[in-house]
Amino acid sequence: MSDKEFITKHYNCKYCNKTHEIQISKEMLENRRKYPFPYVFLHDNIQDGQVSELLTILYIDQDGRIRGQEIQELDNDNLFSREQVIAIVKPLSEEIERLREDNQILKQKLENVEK
């Protein structure tokens, strides 16, 4: 993908006090069901020689502006909380079901054309 297909944003993390550059595909901004939408990325925080992983959720509006943020320090045992797993899995399951239904419709149409 070329640079024309991405927008570059700079995000100042209040947890680690660093500025991060993120690139968001312009395709991600189009035809969303709702705005702002979550954009998730991980980054490290090094403090007193200790490294911790930070899960950062940025809320991006239709014009690509950052409208909000959430930051969570991850422990080494569980990458995601139960609530986060549910929030991730539910939309994926719904999309899988929608694709399954679309697949069935297309199979039926194909069978009708072959007859």
pLDDT tens readout for residues 12-61 = 988 888 899 999 888 888 888 889 999 998 888 887 887 778 889 999 99
| Rounded Cα–Cα distance for residues 12 and 71 (Å) | 12
Determine the pLDDT at residue 29: 87
| Rounded Cα–Cα distance for residues 42 and 54 (Å) | 6
- Spatial CB neighbours of 14, under 8 Å, sequence gap ≥ 6: 69, 71
Q: Confirm if 59 and 71 have CB atoms less than 8 A apart.
A: no
pLDDT in tens, 69-115: 998 887 655 666 778 777 888 888 888 999 999 999 999 999 999 87
Taking the model in full, what pTM does it have? 0.59
